[in-house]
């Protein structure tokens, strides 16, 4: 009998509640899913998501950035050592609130994803929902992209959008977008873990097709 290909060992990096982390853990419960969540790391010792990961039986680690003062690279070296120790192959940032230096980005080039709550390249940075409302955006959403040195700027793997309703509050819009995040992050990780994703000239190809076209064909 042919043996199944090994599932990719994934670490999820969090700083807070970890709802995207939970979405990835849930997806990986399916034995057919090509990735296993092997580790959750937080830079915040009391992050709520750590408890949720432990409850799901997943190994957790804390690398507290405050222990490294202003030396961001020293923090990242400690974090990287944890990832290596756990034989991690893919890293998913999920509400990980640290700006990364070129050190970590280079170490994980092409193997590190982030989820951002906006339709990049619009609304990079923080407070995306309030800014989308203030700008009168008709649609808003979320993006999973590869991490590059410039924040919220890497090749886009998948996007999902929702309408902005006329009477939307920031909270209502945030929760509509969050549901999209929970749907698209597992899809993006699946494609990457299956080895179907290639980066070419700063663009993301899936099965050789530009990512946007690939997902349009799926829908």
* Cβ 114 vs Cβ 144: under 8 Å: yes
Q: Give the residue nearest to ligand GRF (CB).
A: 95
Reference 7, options 31, 35, 27; nearest CA is: 35
Q: Residue 145, interface with ligand GRF (CB under 6 A)?
A: no
Shortest Å distance, C-beta 181 to ligand GRF: 5
> How far, in Å, CA of 152 to CA of 156, rounded?
10
Site for ligand GRF contains 129 (CB under 6 A): no
Q: Which stretch binds ligand GRF (CB under 6 A): 24-32, 56-64, 114-122, 193-201?
A: 114-122
Q: Is 159 in the site for ligand GRF (CB under 6 A)?
A: no
Q: Which two tokens stand for residue 180?
A: 């999209």
Which CB sits closer to ligand GRF, 33 or 123?
A: 123
According to the binding rule CB under 6 A, does residue 115 interact with ligand GRF?
yes
Catalytic residue numbers read 116
Contact call for residue 184 and ligand GRF (CB under 6 A): no
Host H or E run for residue 99: none
Instruction: Give me the least distance between CB of 128 and ligand GRF, in Å please.
Output: 8
Let me know if 218 is exposed, middle or buried by CB neighbors in 10 A (0-12, 13-18, 19+).
Answer: exposed
Dist CA 21 CA 2 (whole Å): 32
With H, G, I as helix, E, B as strand and everything else as coil, classify residue 65.
helix
Q: Contact between 181 and ligand GRF (CB under 6 A)?
A: yes
20 lines the binding site for ligand GRF (CB under 6 A): yes
Q: Which helix (H) or strand (E) segment is 42 a member of? A: strand 35-42
Binding map of ligand GRF across residues 49-78, x = CB under 6 A, - = no contact: x-----------------------------
Among positions 37, 39, 58, 117, the unique one binding ligand GRF when judged by CB under 6 A: 117
Task: Decide: 40 and 53 in contact? Cβ < 8 Å.
Answer: yes
Supply φ then ψ for residue 94, to 5 degrees. Answer: -140, 85
Site for ligand GRF, rule CB under 6 A: 14, 16-21, 49, 94-95, 115-117, 142, 178, 181
């Amino acid at each position: 009998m042919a043996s199944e290909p090994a599932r990719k060992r994934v670490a999820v990096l969090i700083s807070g509640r970890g709802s995207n982390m939970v979405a990835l853990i849930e997806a990986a419960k399916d034995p057919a899913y090509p990735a296993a969540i092997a580790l959750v790391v937080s830079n915040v010792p009391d992050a709520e998501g750590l408890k949720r990961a432990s409850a799901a039986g997943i190994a957790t680690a804390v690398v507290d950035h405050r222990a490294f003062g202003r030396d961001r690279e020293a923090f990242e070296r400690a974090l990287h050592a944890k990832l290596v120790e756990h034989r991690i192959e893919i890293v998913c940032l999920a509400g990980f609130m640290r700006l990364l230096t070129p050190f970590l980005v280079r170490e994980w080039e092409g193997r590190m994803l982030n989820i951002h709550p906006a339709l990049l390249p619009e609304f990079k940075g923080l407070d995306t929902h309030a800014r989308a409302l203030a700008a009168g955006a008709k649609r808003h959403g979320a993006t999973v992209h590869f991490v590059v040195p410039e924040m919220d700027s890497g090749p886009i793997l998948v996007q999902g959008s929702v309408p902005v309703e006329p009477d939307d509050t920031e909270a209502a819009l945030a929760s509509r977008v969050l549901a999209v995040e929970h749907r698209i992050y597992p899809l993006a990780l699946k494609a990457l873990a299956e080895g179907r994703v290639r980066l070419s000239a700063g663009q993301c190809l899936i099965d050789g097709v530009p990512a946007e076209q690939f997902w349009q064909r799926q829908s």
